[in-house]
Amino acid sequence: MPFSEDKLTDAALAARLFPDGGEMGSQIRALDWSQTRVGPMRTWPLSLRTAVSIMLGSRFPMMVHWGPELVHFYNDGYATILKAKHPGALGQPAEPWWREMWPFLDTIFEPVLRGETTFFENSLVLPNRQGFVEETYFTFSHSPIYDEAGAVGGIYVTALETTTTVLQQRRLALLSHLTSQTALSARPVEAAQHLMAALATNTDDIPFALLYTRTAAAPEAELRAWFGLPAGEPAAPATVVLNAAQSGKTVWPLAEALAAEAPLLVDNLAERFAPWPDGEWPAPPTQALVLPLQAGVGSISIRHVLIVGLSVRRPLDAAYRDFFNLVADYAGRALARAAATHEAQRLNQALREANASLDSFVHIVAHDLKGPVTNLRSLLDVYHEEAPGPIQDHVLTLLGQEVNRLAGTMQGMLQVLYTQHGAAVPALELVPFAEVYATVQAELADLVHQQRGQLTANFQAAPSVRYARLYLESILKNLVHNALKYRSAERPPVIQVQTRRQGTAVLLTVTDNGRGIDLSRDRQRLFQPFTRLTADGEGAGLGLHMIQTIVQNRGGTLDVSSKLGAGTTFTVTLPDAPAD
């Protein structure tokens, strides 16, 4: 026998209609529905009562929208989806409760109210359920609920939040892309660019990224790669001072992150940097993480810091942090691997060049010593064939000259080996050019006098340089000796030595009025070992090669300008090392 609702209190009626339903069953029974748009429970049509009963009995997250204003009913599963909108959404119209996403919902509700059923899989939804508009994903279905008149009186909503699954797939895809992009990077600069290209495939999670590199104990970190921010602007400066006391709040706190060796969160980006560009979303990112990357075995002198922007539509929860920890780990390994590969290639190339140089040196030595040895044997034969007297004395003189020539050749070879292959580098010191010049002048004084030459010097523009004294003396002596050796037969030699500054370097020039050099013909072979441009004169042709080796090994350059018949100028660029 059907019961009479008139004889039941509102609470008894609610308990009779919806006896179960967990927390939301209790909420629905307790709510004063007379204060809502659907009216007291006694007036509800059977179609609504049935729909709410089915909804409460389901273990799937479900919601019922009822009436022209789509008033909310939902079960426990849907309550977890609503988060901060629960329990306030119960009994309230869909609009303005979902105002932040109403245009999206309206396009869904419209066909359902006409009697259609809709289904969306992993669809992007942007609710405000935690105090900010959030990037979420849902698989959901909307179907019509018919009332007693056969019209659509409401909507069933069945929903499953798939945000975690979608984000995991997207982030795993980035990590996979990062691995494949950087796997074949042979140089650090390529690895840095490939890293940025990989990160740029997921601008939803990483709206921008900056990679800074600090080499050795440099006071600044340099921007090596970036995307999403304009390089050189306040938000992406070309360099960042690593002294925390000097950097201030207007730059990225790289020093703090490196010191802590842990991710560092940076808030209020728009206030910290101005102007601040928009991001992928309508609202620009407001936070970033500063991630110090692992140094890598064998590259401890190089440190990298990766700055990544955070999505303004996702909270920095544990999953988001774990993702960035993996990004930092993958990126650090890729950069370290590229640095190690590049260093190995550099060392292999240096070894190949050293071996080739040594092979060439051995061949040249064998060839260059063959002549003096043959001459010595011939002179010895002549000496033994001649009777004591003037001819034998002359042969003995020639033997002495040939021995001296051979000794000079050997000494030159030893000097080349000394500068090329692993000799200990003399200590740097502040060397006055006048002192070096005085030593060279005294050593070559007899030769200058014999040739009636003139040797002058002017060091006023650059009186000194921090350099190895031994090398500086060798450079100047060889250049002055070359000028005397290749003097013009038509005039006494005039040699001028000068210095001047050029930026942080010192330029040493040695100018002569000798016979000159045909640079169009001889420039390529001028600095090669055992090169002599004329048949006359002494020497093994090692001086210029040795000077160039010394200078280049210490970061300098050796250049030449010349005019046939007029003279030659050699210019040596000497990096002036800073004081300790």
* pLDDT score recorded for residue 328: 93
* pLDDT score recorded for residue 411: 57
* pLDDT score recorded for residue 299: 44
Class of domain 429-575 as given by CATH: alpha beta
| Residue given tokens 């942007």 in the structure block | 126
CA–CA separation, 132 and 135 (whole Å): 10
Q: Domain 167-343 carries which CATH code? A: 3.30.450.40
* pLDDT score recorded for residue 543: 67
Spatial contact of 110 and 50, defined as CB atoms under 8 Å apart: no
Residue ranges in the chain whose pLDDT is less than 50:
1, 297-299, 360, 363-364, 366-368, 422-424, 535, 537-540
DSSP code string of 358-423: HHHHHHHHHHHHHHHHHHHHHHHHHHHHSPTTHHHHHHHHHHHHHHHHHHHHHHHHHHHHHHHTTP
Cα–Cα separations (whole angstroms), residue 18 to 27, 52, 276, 332, 346:
11, 8, 54, 58, 78
Residues counted in the chain: 580
CA–CA separation, 253 and 15 (whole Å): 61
Neighbour tally for 58: CB within 10 Å:
16
Which 3 state secondary structure label does DSSP give 245?
helix
Spatial contact of 559 and 571, defined as CB atoms under 8 Å apart: yes
Class of domain 5-164 as given by CATH: alpha beta
* pLDDT score recorded for residue 363: 44
* pLDDT score recorded for residue 360: 45
pLDDT per residue as tens digits for the range 228-285: 988 888 889 999 988 756 555 568 999 899 888 899 999 998 888 877 766 555 778 8
Contacts of 523 (CB under 8 A, 6+ apart): 517, 560
CA–CA separation, 264 and 499 (whole Å): 51
* pLDDT score recorded for residue 142: 96
CA–CA separation, 514 and 482 (whole Å): 10
Neighbour tally for 426: CB within 10 Å:
12
CA–CA separation, 311 and 316 (whole Å): 9
Which 3 state secondary structure label does DSSP give 502?
strand
346-421 shares the fold of 5-164: no
**Taking the domains of the chain in order of start, what are their residue ranges?**
5-164, 167-343, 346-421, 429-575
CA–CA separation, 357 and 244 (whole Å): 48
* pLDDT score recorded for residue 345: 72
Q: Domain 346-421 carries which CATH code? A: 1.10.287
Spatial contact of 270 and 283, defined as CB atoms under 8 Å apart: no
